[in-house]
Structure 1
C-alpha cells in the first residue's frame, strides 16, 4: 500500500496506480444477497429466494457464462473496472425524465452578498478551479493514506448529457472526440427564462475580473426578457423523458440557427441560473434547487449554479458522470477561499464588459407546443412531489461521537425506527457508499436493513423491553451497520455484481430467464421505502434528490458537527407518511440520545 508521501501530487497522476474494484465470485455475491434480503422476507419468500439462488448457482446455469463474460471484460486492455459498462447502462440508459428523478442539488452556506456579487464570485472561483484542473494542479484527495480517483473531475466543465432514443450519450472533454481539457471560454447564463452566452475568459486565455463578471451579469439582468414564455424557453424540453427529448432535439437542431445554439449550450463551461425572486424560506429555496422553473434550467448540463435574488446559492448536478463526493470536494475548494483570492490566483485581469449575446432558437408552431407541454407537464410533476426540509440542532455528528456512536449509524438507525413507527413495517433501505479508492470508483449500493437493525427496532417498539436491552440492541445494530459499510467500501457487496450479470444478458438479447431476478429477495430488497445518502461538508446546508419509487421517501442528509439537516421527498400520495416520518424522526433522535446518555 502506498503512503500519502508516495502519491503523485498531480490531479490525475494516481489513476493507474489505484487498485481495481474487486470482482466477487458468483458464490460470494449469492451468499451476501441471501444475507442482505432475508430480514425483509417472510419464511415462504425466503424459501423461494433460496431455491432461485440454488438454481442460479448450478454448474450449468447461464449465470456461470455471464460471469465468465464479465471476467473476460474485466481483463480486457483499457478496461479499468468491471463496472465500466454498468455505470453508463445505469445512468444513461434510464428512459424517464432526469429532472427531479436523477439530478441532485446542494444548498451552499450563506454569504453576506447580494445576488450579482455572489454569482460573480462563484463564476470566478469555478473558472479558477478549471484552470488549475487543466494544469493538473488540483491536489488529488488522499484519505487515510489512500489516494482517491479524481477521474470524475473531467466531467465538471463543458459536459452535457445528450438524449438518445435507446441510451443517452455524453458530450465532454478528455475524450477522443474532444481531447484534453475544454477550450471553451464561455458560460450560459439563464435569466427570466432567456439564455445568454457570456465569455468568462478573454480571447488570450486570461479570466475576466470579478468586476467585469458583475458588469456582464448586470447587463444581462437589464435585458428585456418579456419575450421568454412557456412556449419559447427551450430549457423546458430538458425535463422530458429521454427518448421523447431525443426526438424533439433532432427536430429542434434541424431548424435554422438551432444547431449553433445547442452547440453554445453544450460546450459552455457550466450554467448560471439567476432567479428573479427571493424564496420565502429554506424549504422553498431547496425546492427550487431541485426543480425550479424549468424554463430557467438546462437539466442536461453537468453543473448549474443557481443564485436567488437574496444572494442564497446552490447547485443542481446531472448525475451520469458525477457523484456527491466529487461535487463536495469541488464546492469545498470554491467556498473555503474567498472569491477575490481565487480570482487573483487565476491571473484574472480587468478587460471591460465580457462578450454577452442572447442564445436564440428558431421555433415553429409544433415546437412551441412541445415546449409549452413540457413546461406544463414538469410543473405538474413537481407539484406532485412532496418535500420537507428539517433541521435537528441537537443531533449533529459531535453529539453522536460524545455518546460513543458512529454518527452515520446513529442517524440510520433513527431512520429505521422512525419509518417503522410511521408505516408499521421495516422497509428496504438504500444507502450510497463511496468507493473512489478504486480505479473509476464511484459508489456501492448498501442495504441498511440487517437482522440486527430489525431486532433493534423490535426492542424499541416493545413496551416490555427495558432500557439496558434496548441500548444493547442499538449498539449491536450500529456496529453491524458500520461493518457492512466497510464491506461495501471494500467492494464486498452483491447487488451491483448481480445486476450487471442481468444487464449483460439483456444486452446480448435475452436468453434463458434467471429465476433469481424474479425472486422475492431481489424484488423486495430493491423496492426502496427509504433511499438515503449523506453530504458531509461545512459548506453545505442542505442536500436533496427526488424519491426513487411510488412509496419511497428520499432522505438526503447533511450530518454537520452541530446539527443534522435533512431534506425529504416523496410522491404526493405518500405525503402524509413523509410528514409522519419527519415527526417520528424528531422523537427518535431525542429518544436515542436519551437512551445512550443514561448509561
Structure 2
C-alpha cells in the first residue's frame, strides 16, 4: 500500500465553511471567473490607480460632459464607476479575443504534431502564456464557444453511411428514400428552428438531451440508466470502519473543493466544467411525467444505510470543525457496534426508489411528503452529500476466477434492492471486507466528470494520505470517554409506516427489482496478456484497436454488423455533454470481413486495421469539433414532436436500438501509477445493456499492461450471452495482436 506524502491536488480543509464564508468565496470566484485571465487583485489595483488619478484630476476631459449632480459624494461615486467600466474594457476585449481564437481553434487536432502550422504555433504560444494565470474550475466556462449546428446534408449523409452495413438492402432503400424526402420537406423547417434556437443558447443540444434522454425516462434508474463505479483490483488493507471513514473524508474534501472551484480543470480550462457542481448533495426528484434535478449546494452530513436502518452522520461538529479520518473511524466504529437490525419490510424502504419513476413519484407523495415525520427524513436523505451503504456482503477479486469480480460488478450496478437511494447523485458502498464502489445517477454528468472525481479520490486516498497499518487502524477504533463527549455520533432516521399499503408497495418494488437484478448477465474480461503499451507499438490507436476487436467479436457473436454506440466528447463547447461516435463504417466492416476470411493475407489485414483505426480516430475528432450527427438528429426529432411535424425519417431514426453500447473509461489526469503495481489498477465501471437483445461493454486500459472490459447483457434474451461474447472478445484481442507478430 502507498505510504502517502505526495502533495494534495486540492486543500484538505479542517473547517466547514459558514454560510457567510461561502458567500464570500463564491462572490470572489464569480469575480475571478468574470475577469480571467486577469486576476481580481491586479484588476482592483488598476481600478484604485485609475480612481486615484480621477480624484486628483477631477476636470479630466472624459468627465467634462457629465451633467452636474450637485452632490459631490454621489458625483465621485459615479465617476469611479465610469473609471471602473473603462478599466474593464481591455479585459472584456481580451476575453472576446480568447473566445474567438484560443478557445475556438481546433486545427491542432488534425495536424501532424511534429509539423504544426503557423496558426497552431501561435495557439500554442497563447496557451503557454495563459499557463502563468492558472484558471480555477469554472474560469473558462464562459469563454468556450457555442455548440455549432451541423448542416442537414452532412448529418443525413453520415447517418446513411453508418446504416448501410447494418440494414438489409430493402430496409436501407426505404430509409434512404425517407432521408431524401426529409431533406426536401420537413427537414428544412426543423433545421431552421434548431439554428434559431442555437442563437439564443450556448448549447442547442444539452437542455433537450438532459430533459428528454434522461429526465423524461419513466423506467427504473438502476441497471437502465445509472452507472456503477468500482474499486481498485487490490483490496486495501483496511478495517471496515476505517475504509468507510476514508471514503467519506476524501469525498467531503472533494465536495468542498468543487464548491470552492479548487479542482484543477481538465485541459487547463479548454473543456466544459459546468456539470461538476451537480455531483454532490444532489438528488433527482421523481415527477409524474418528468423528473427534476435539485442540488443543495454544500451539506454537512451523509446518510448511512446499515442492517436495514438509516442514519444521519455529520461530517463536522457544531463549531464547523471537520472530523478527520481518525475521528470518522471512531464514529463508524460506534455505529457498527450498535448491532441493530431491521428485519421487517420497513428495512427495505429504499426499494421504493427502485420503482418506475411515475410509481415512485406517487409513493413519495403518499408515504413521505404527506407524513410530517417522514417528510423531514426524506429531506435529510435528499440533501445529504452522498448515500453510503455499509453492506453485510463480502466481495472478492481473483484474476483466475472472473466470476468473483462479476458478482462484485453486478452488485455495484444493481445493489440488492435495499442499499441504494436511487435518486441520489452518488451512492457509495463499503462491504464487510472493506471493498468499495457504488452507483452514479447519470443525468447529472458523464464519464469524464466521474473519471476525474474517482482518479482524484484514488490519488488522495493512496498517494496523499496513505494507509496506516491494521494495528494502527484498530487503535483508531478505540473510543475513549473524551471521544464520546467531543464526537457527534450518528442519529437514527426512523421512517414511520404510513399504512399497510406502504409495506405492500415496498415489497412489490423489492420483488420487481430482484427480477431485474437476476436478469443481469455480467462478465468481466480481465485481459492481462498485453495492454496499451503493446498496442502503441503496433502503430494503431489503442481505442481504435479495442473498438475493432469489439466489432470482430460482435460479428462472430451475431453473424452480422449491429448498430454500435460509443460516447465521444464534445466538451470543447459550452455546457456540453457527449456526442455519439458510430463505430460501424465502410472501413471497420472491410477489416472485419478480412479477418474472417482465411484466404486474406496478413499484410492486407494489417493495412485494413490501420485504416479502420485511423478512420475511427478521425471520426472521433469530428465529434469533438461539433460535427457529430446523433445529437443533431436527436434535437430535430424532439422539435418534430414538440411542434407536431410528422417525419417518417425521424421516427425511423428514433426507433432504432443500440444493440452494442460501448464506453471507454479514459485516464483523464495521468496522476495515478498503475504500472508499478498491477494490482493497484482501477477496475473501471459498468452499465446495463441499452437494448434487451444487446450488449453493454465498458472498458479501460489498466496502465500499459491490461485491458479490462465489463460486459453486460440479459439472461432473458436468447440472442446474447456475456460469457460467450467475452471469450470472443479475448480471441479478437489475440487475433489483432498476432497480426504484428
**TM-score, scaled to structure 1:** 0.91
Post-superposition offset of 1:378: 0.1
Q: Which residue of 2 aligns with 1:549?
A: 691
CA–CA distance in 2 between the matches of 1:352 and 1:552?
54
**1:532 maps to which of 639, 662, 665:** 662
Q: Which residue of 1 aligns with 2:490?
A: 356
CA–CA distance in 1 between the matches of 2:545 and 2:311?
47
**2:387 maps to which of 253, 271, 275:** 271
Post-superposition offset of 1:26: 1.7
Q: Does 1:96 pair with 2:219?
A: yes
**TM-score, scaled to structure 2:** 0.74
CA–CA distance in 1 between the matches of 2:365 and 2:144?
41
Higher helix share: 2
Deviations 1:414-433 (A, max 9, x none): 11111111221111111011
Post-superposition offset of 1:397: 1.1
Matches within 5 A, 1:72-221: 72-76=196-200, 79-109=202-232, 110=234, 111-142=236-267, 147-173=270-296, 181-182=297-298, 184-221=299-336
CA–CA distance in 2 between the matches of 1:147 and 1:212?
39
Matches within 5 A, 1:55-454: 55-58=181-184, 61-76=185-200, 79-109=202-232, 110=234, 111-142=236-267, 147-173=270-296, 181-182=297-298, 184-252=299-367, 253-280=369-396, 281-338=404-461, 341=464, 352-363=486-497, 364-454=499-589
2:614 partner SS: helix
**1:502 maps to which of 630, 637, 642:** 637
2:172 partner SS: helix
CA–CA distance in 2 between the matches of 1:434 and 1:427?
22
Question: What stretches of structure 2 of length at least 5 have no aligned partner?
Answer: 1-101, 104-126, 397-403, 467-482, 668-673, 675-680
CA–CA distance in 2 between the matches of 1:42 and 1:593?
32
1:295 partner SS: coil
CA–CA distance in 2 between the matches of 1:213 and 1:389?
34
CA–CA distance in 2 between the matches of 1:406 and 1:574?
33
**2:137 maps to which of 5, 8, 11:** 11
CA–CA distance in 1 between the matches of 2:463 and 2:574?
35
**2:735 maps to which of 584, 591, 594:** 591
Post-superposition offset of 1:18: 1.1
Question: How many pairs were matched up?
Answer: 573
CA–CA distance in 2 between the matches of 1:40 and 1:4?
46
Report if the CA contact (8 A) 1:231-1:372 is conserved. no
**1:566 maps to which of 709, 726, 732:** 709
Q: Which residue of 1 aligns with 2:648?
A: 515
Report if the CA contact (8 A) 2:526-2:709 is conserved. yes
Q: Does 1:45 pair with 2:171?
A: yes
Report if the CA contact (8 A) 1:231-1:369 is conserved. no
Q: Which residue of 2 aligns with 1:177?
A: none
Post-superposition offset of 1:52: 0.8
CA–CA distance in 1 between the matches of 2:460 and 2:427?
20
Task: Flag the 1:28–1:125 CA change in 2: closer, same or farther, 3 A.
Answer: same
Post-superposition offset of 1:98: 0.6
Q: Relative contact order (alpha carbons < 8 A, sep ≥ 6): 1 or 2 greater?
A: 1
Question: What stretches of structure 1 of length at least 5 have no aligned partner?
Answer: 174-180, 344-349
Post-superposition offset of 1:591: 1.3
Post-superposition offset of 1:99: 0.8
Q: Which residue of 1 aligns with 2:475?
A: none
1:151 partner SS: coil
Q: Which has the larger radius of gyration?
A: 2
